[in-house]
Amino acid sequence: MKVKLLYIFCGIVLLVAFKMADDIPFVVPKYFPAPVYDFKKNRLSSEKIVLGRVLFYDNLLSKNQTISCASCHSNYNAFAHTDHALSHGIYDSIGTRNAPALMNLAWQPIFMWDGAINHLDMQALAPIQNKIEMGEHIANVVSKLQKSPIYPKLFYKAFEDSIISGEHTLKALSAFMLTLVSCESKYDSVIKGYLAFDAKEKNGYALYKNHCSSCHTEPLFTNYRFENNGLALDTTLSDYGRMHITKQTNDSLKFKVPTLRNIEWTYPYMHDGRFKTLNTVLNHYSGGIIYSPSLSEPLQKPISLSAKEKVDLLSFLLTLSDTKYIFNKNHSFPREILKN
Amino acid sequence: MKSFLIVFCLIGFWQTDSKAQQVRFVAKYGNEMLNTFPNTVKGKNGDTIEFSVLKFYISNLEFRKNGIPVYSPKEQYHLVDFGIEHSAVLNFDARKKIHFHEFVFDIGIDSATNSAGALGGALDPTVGMYWTWQNGYIHFKLEGKSSRCFARNHQFEFHIGGYYSPFNTLQKIRIPAQKNIESTIEIDLAILMESIDLATVHHIMSPCTEAVRFSQQFPFIFYSAKR
């Protein structure tokens, strides 16, 4: 009897060890803060990440099977929607905001330009069920996935359950999105001591620290807060940002501070994509600020930048481009599994 | 050995039955039972009301004796959906016989759970009780039509949610319990409907002042069956 118990105990230990070996550790760069995402509630495994990647690129998630997450978040421009001021969805519907770039989501505590979403797991629900984005219902997505020839197997591999649920669908998407870590730009190499800034970049870094860093804070280049950065209200959209969620007037015209990482590729800029180039962005901050009661504190005092300083600041901003990130094959369309 | 196993199993079944607790929710409009949904009633204001959807979360249920919890079911979250048969009957296995005088539970989902990411079972977003344009569970959903309602097709839709100040709509309910293993809790929709001016308030779809006001009626609409 004792021997049998010992065998059972050893079997359980081996199974647990095998399962633990399946977990993929999430590597945090030494100069990054601790992630806010709770990996204990959604352990990373290669199977889960693959499933999330396939879901991310699959048009099946939309009502008429034409739009995937990648339609507005393409890997070749740091998962932004380049060239579209306002992102568009099914039936060529035009939205009201510019789809933000996706990266370093394990550190992001709140999502959407207005902070409507409080957790990465729940973020995907918003575009899936928005009538002019993907126009679908999560229950119907799950039903379509269950009938698909590929997904029950992929879900079984990822969750040891071929019965698909909303929870598992969202957690798989999170698993993939959590792997979208950008930390290999020239800036990162400088911080790690492998490279040095040139003279222009060095001066640009000093200007950044002086004028931009209170909101676009290192090393993630955002403080994830909501700020009114002095943009004039676009009366065709009447988008008051954070106030829409909190219903507090002091949140009027406040939007989430976006990261500056990979900013070279994530044009057009601002929540409504009103600025096509980084030059126009710098011109806004150094002479285009519109005063209103909720204007961000650091912008209350006008910022003055000479033409040379703008060039230097731009040189620094370009050091935040992470080529390895946008060419990472693990982030691209999963041709080996998906056909569309 | 075989007979021992049979006896053991029988004892197991008998014990489970003796410790089972059942809480049944029954919807009413005044004295009228609403057994099936949709269900049409004659309103107290002379209007006709058709209730099509009644769904709500029961969470953090406690069976209390003299104000002290004597049993808290392991499963914390239950979705009661009057459109689904048996959904309004909650069964618990208390593992030992319990004596209690009172039920205490929340209508809705607490703030920590609202911020906990993707969850399964009754909390899976596929059950249609989760807002997607912004975060948060819908604690209580009541939909229908009334001739008193001035909205399109006379429809009213009350989706009551909100988990943060100042629009937190989670409500704690305390109800005296019957002293038997099958308890019935009634929900009187007449009280709720009379608290609303349908001519002006017919849609609540987000955390807001109206939602808070609506939720403040919850403690008055739940009753022990023998009131």
User: Can you tell me the mean pLDDT for A240-268?
Assistant: 95
d(CA A136, CA A142): 11
In a domain, B7, yes or no: no
d(CA A136, CA A126): 10
Q: Where are the alpha helices (DSSP H) in A105-198?
A: 120-123, 125-129, 138-147, 151-159, 166-178, 186-191
Collapsing DSSP to helix, strand or coil, B147 comes out as coil
In a domain, B10, yes or no: no
The tally of domains found in chain B comes to 1
Has residue B54 got a pLDDT over 50? yes
Has residue B191 got a pLDDT over 70? yes
- Domain containing B63 equals 21-224
Q: Return mean pLDDT, chain A.
A: 92
Looking only at the bridges linking them, the beta strands covering B155-161 and B89-93 are unpaired
User: Residue B160: what pLDDT?
Assistant: 97
Other Cβ atoms less than 10 A from the Cβ of A216: the count is 20
Has residue A3 got a pLDDT over 70? no
User: Can you tell me the mean pLDDT for A223-238?
Assistant: 95
SS (H, E, C) B41-89: EECCCCCEEEEEEEEEEEEEEEEEECCEEEECCCCCEEEEECCCCCCCE
Q: Does the distance separating the beta carbons of A117 and B134 come in below 8 Å?
A: yes
Give the Å distances, CA to CA, from A116 to A149, A241, A326.
35, 10, 27
Task: Identify the contact set of chain A against chain B, taking CB-CB distances under 8 A.
Answer: 38, 41-42, 116-122, 125-126, 128-130, 138-139, 142, 165-168, 170-171, 174, 245, 247
User: Residue A103: what pLDDT?
Assistant: 98
Torsion angle defined by CA atoms of residues A85, A90, A93 and A98, in that order, rounded to the nearest 10 degrees: -20
Name which residue leads in pLDDT, B120 or B183: B120
In a domain, B8, yes or no: no
Which option is the CATH number for A28-182: 3.50.50.60, 3.30.470.10, 1.10.760.10, 1.10.10.10?
1.10.760.10
Q: Which residues on B lie below 8 Å from A119 (Cβ)?
A: 115-118, 135
Name which residue leads in pLDDT, A325 or B36: A325
User: Can you tell me the mean pLDDT for A213-238?
Assistant: 96
Q: Does the distance separating the beta carbons of B116 and A119 come in below 8 Å?
A: yes
User: Can you tell me the mean pLDDT for A184-211?
Assistant: 98
A4 — pLDDT class (breaks 50, 70, 90): low
B8: tokens are 């053991």
| Of the candidate ranges A292-306, B12-26, B200-214, the one whose mean pLDDT is the lowest | B12-26
In a domain, B5, yes or no: no
| Of the candidate ranges A9-18, A60-69, B28-37, the one whose mean pLDDT is the lowest | A9-18
User: Can you tell me the mean pLDDT for B109-133?
Assistant: 94
Give the Å distances, CA to CA, from B59 to A66, A264, B148, B171, B207.
39, 48, 33, 10, 19
In a domain, B179, yes or no: yes
Please, which residues have CB within 8 angstroms of residue B16's CB and are 6 or more apart in sequence?
A: B93
Collapsing DSSP to helix, strand or coil, A146 comes out as helix
Tens of pLDDT, residue by residue over A161-195, are: 999 999 999 999 999 999 999 999 999 999 999 99
Write the residue in A128, A139, A170 that is nearest to B118 by C-beta. Answer: A170
In a domain, B4, yes or no: no
Q: Does the distance separating the beta carbons of B134 and A138 come in below 8 Å?
A: no
Has residue A224 got a pLDDT over 60? yes
User: Can you tell me the mean pLDDT for A60-88?
Assistant: 91
Q: Does the distance separating the beta carbons of B135 and A128 come in below 8 Å?
A: no
Q: How many percent of chain A have pLDDT more than 70? A: 93
In a domain, B16, yes or no: no
Domain with CATH 1.10.760.10 in chain A: 28-182, 186-321
Has residue B113 got a pLDDT over 80? yes
User: Residue B85: what pLDDT?
Assistant: 82
| Of the candidate ranges A42-46, A95-99, B216-220, the one whose mean pLDDT is the lowest | A95-99
Of B17, B8, B7, the closest CA to residue B94 belongs to B17
User: Can you tell me the mean pLDDT for A251-276?
Assistant: 96
| Of the candidate ranges A215-219, A294-298, B69-73, the one whose mean pLDDT is the lowest | B69-73
H-helix or E-strand spanning residue A25: none
d(CA A70, CA A94): 16
Has residue B11 got a pLDDT over 50? no
User: Can you tell me the mean pLDDT for B114-138?
Assistant: 93
CATH 1.10.760.10 at A186-321, yes or no: yes
